[in-house]
Amino acid sequence: MANYKRILVALDLSDESSQVLDKAGEMAKVFGAELSLTHVIEPLTFAYGGDIPMDLSEVQEQLQTQAKEQLGKAGAKFGVPEDRQRVVLGQPAGEIHRLAEELNSDLVVIGSHGRHGLALLLGSTANGVLHGAGCDVLAVRVHSD
């Protein structure tokens, strides 16, 4: 079994994120590994393709501020210092790959909702991370409470 030293935890900050963080925290304890946390926000211009003739920068800033606060609370639970918590803007799978490489992570932990049918065909962030990662990926099956 691999001996992980640097674990990157990618959180979507949903209610189920605590399940992902708990699993990553358990692994970090077992391996004596360092945890880093990230949340990726897709730019609103990606979602709306520029179809809305308005400035979304203020809304985008609010989303980033809220995400940093939530990530800070998650990090406090496992003693992850602020300098190892990152909220980034971009395409989730690509940003997680970039950050894992930048941090020299040997494991990425991400949640998986286990979608089926059309959602499965369209792909998911977990699937995108799994198929492009340069390190091991653990997809934690999350369940709605």
Q: Is residue 123 part of a domain?
A: yes
Q: Is residue 28 part of a domain?
A: yes
Residue 5, pLDDT score: 96
What average pLDDT score do residues 72-83 get? 93
Report which of residues 115 and 92 the model is more confident about. Answer: 92
Q: Is residue 1 part of a domain?
A: no
Q: Are 143 and 16 in contact (CB under 8 A)?
A: yes
Helix pair 17-31, 57-77: axis angle to 10 deg: 40
Please report which confidence band the pLDDT of residue 120 belongs to, taking 50, 70 and 90 as the band edges: very low
- Residues β-bridged to residue 41: 89
Q: Is residue 109 part of a domain?
A: yes
d(CA 139, CA 68): 23
Q: Are 36 and 80 in contact (CB under 8 A)?
A: yes
pLDDT in tens, 20-41: 999 999 999 999 999 999 999 9
Q: Is residue 60 part of a domain?
A: yes
Q: Find tokens 């998650």 and name the residue.
A: 74
| 41: CATH | 3.40.50.620
The residue segments making up the domain with residue 107 are: 6-141
Q: Is residue 119 part of a domain?
A: yes
| pTM listed for this prediction | 0.85
Number of domains in the chain: 1
Residue 58, pLDDT score: 81
122 pLDDT above the threshold of 70: no
